[in-house]
């Protein structure tokens, strides 16, 4: 009997894709600055302190500096009242030198994140959390996209000869920053999209949905949620999950076993992560163009 040789999946690494995006951002930022005498400025708003947020903030600042964008951090007290938080956002909305606003999560428990997102000026909302920007995704006209969802699309675009039209795509996780907008972006490409969530898992039908997926995208935040033997042979697997297990960073998928069956798979870390900040910077440039170039 002929021995079956298992070919491991090719890695979908975000660093190389992010590098190309950053090269374009830097060149465009230089052109805009030369033309207008100033370039895009983004401001991150943080209430209180959070260790995980600090890492992301430093990453934002580092990338902005490298790409020629102006960056500032607006620190607010953890005990700030909600109406005062809204006033702080409004002052940034009115500041013509600010072109992009990021509200750093998580917010203190007494602050309503959904409400705050409604007060960010849509043209300055470079994370695409305002309902108006979400609506643009529905109509397929969005210029600014949620960073992680857009990062997943960029990774899919990097797969040679991949045609999304009609593909069976299963998304596990229905968050407002990944699952829901990503489903809309894929629908705009005429993929056949199924969204699974906690109720799917509780009903016990998650494995059967995963096994049908030609493209599987997981964004839950639960290590080992997706077993490797559930993966369809030849599937493309994008693992957005970030979990710390025994001092290591792992995704939501059993990577080693999944890699034996998938054709492409993202490493964790190193897959989606490197792309998210690059997309954020691209959004900042786009926001600048919509506010300055078109006026």
For residue 137, being part of any structural domain is answered with: no
The pTM of this model reads 0.93
Number of structural domains the chain divides into: 2
121 and 193 housed in the same domain:
no
213 and 246 housed in the same domain:
yes
Exposure string over 34-61, b if 16+ CB within 10 A, otherwise e: eeeeebbbbbbbbbbebeebeebbeebb
Q: Which domain holds residue 75?
A: 37-130
For residue 251, being part of any structural domain is answered with: yes
The CATH number linked to 43 is 3.40.50.10860
For residue 32, being part of any structural domain is answered with: no
How sure is the predictor about 6, in pLDDT bands with cuts at 50, 70 and 90? Answer: low
The CATH number linked to 172 is 3.40.50.720
71 and 187 housed in the same domain:
no
Residues 6 or more apart whose CB falls under 8 angstroms from that of 91 comprise: none
For residue 125, being part of any structural domain is answered with: yes
Q: What is the pLDDT of residues 48-93, one digit of tens each?
A: 988 778 888 999 999 999 999 999 999 999 999 999 999 999 999 9
Q: What is the pLDDT of residues 238-275, one digit of tens each?
A: 999 999 999 899 999 999 999 999 999 999 999 999 99
Q: What is the pLDDT of residues 15-25, one digit of tens each?
A: 999 999 999 99
Helix 147-157 × helix 273-288 angle, to 10°? 110
Q: CA triplet 258, 176, 178: central angle to 5 degrees? A: 30
- Taking alpha carbons only, the member of 105, 90, 97, 108 closest to residue 40 is 97
């Amino acid at each position: 009997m002929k021995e079956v040789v298992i070919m491991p999946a090719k890695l979908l690494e975000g660093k190389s894709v992010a590098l190309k995006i950053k090269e374009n951002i830097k060149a465009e930022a230089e052109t805009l600055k030369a033309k207008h005498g100033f370039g895009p400025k983004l401001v991150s708003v943080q209430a209180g302190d959070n260790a995980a947020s600090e890492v992301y903030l430093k990453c934002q600042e580092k990338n902005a500096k490298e790409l020629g964008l102006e960056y500032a951090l607006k620190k607010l007290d953890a005990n700030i009242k909600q109406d005062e938080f809204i006033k702080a956002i409004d002052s940034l909305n009115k500041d013509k030198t600010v072109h992009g606003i990021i509200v750093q999560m998580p917010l203190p428990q007494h602050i309503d994140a959904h409400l705050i997102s409604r007060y960010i000026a849509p043209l300055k909302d470079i994370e695409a959390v305002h309902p108006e920007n979400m609506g643009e995704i529905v109509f397929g006209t969005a210029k600014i996209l949620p960073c992680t969802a857009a990062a997943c699309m960029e990774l899919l675009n990097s797969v040679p000869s991949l045609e999304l039209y009609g593909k069976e795509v299963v998304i596990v996780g229905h968050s407002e920053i990944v699952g829901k907008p990503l489903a809309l972006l894929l629908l705009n490409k005429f993929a056949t999209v199924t969204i699974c969530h906690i109720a799917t898992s509780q009903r016990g039908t998650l494995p059967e949905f995963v096994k049908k997926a030609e493209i599987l995208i997981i964004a839950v935040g639960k290590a080992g949620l997706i077993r490797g033997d559930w993966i369809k042979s030849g599937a493309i697997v994008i693992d957005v999950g970030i979990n710390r297990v025994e001092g290591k960073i792992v995704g939501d998928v059993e990577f080693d076993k999944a890699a034996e069956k998938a054709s492409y798979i993202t490493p964790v870390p190193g897959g989606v992560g490197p792309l998210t900040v690059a997309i954020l910077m691209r959004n900042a440039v786009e926001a600048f163009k919509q506010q300055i170039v078109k006026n």
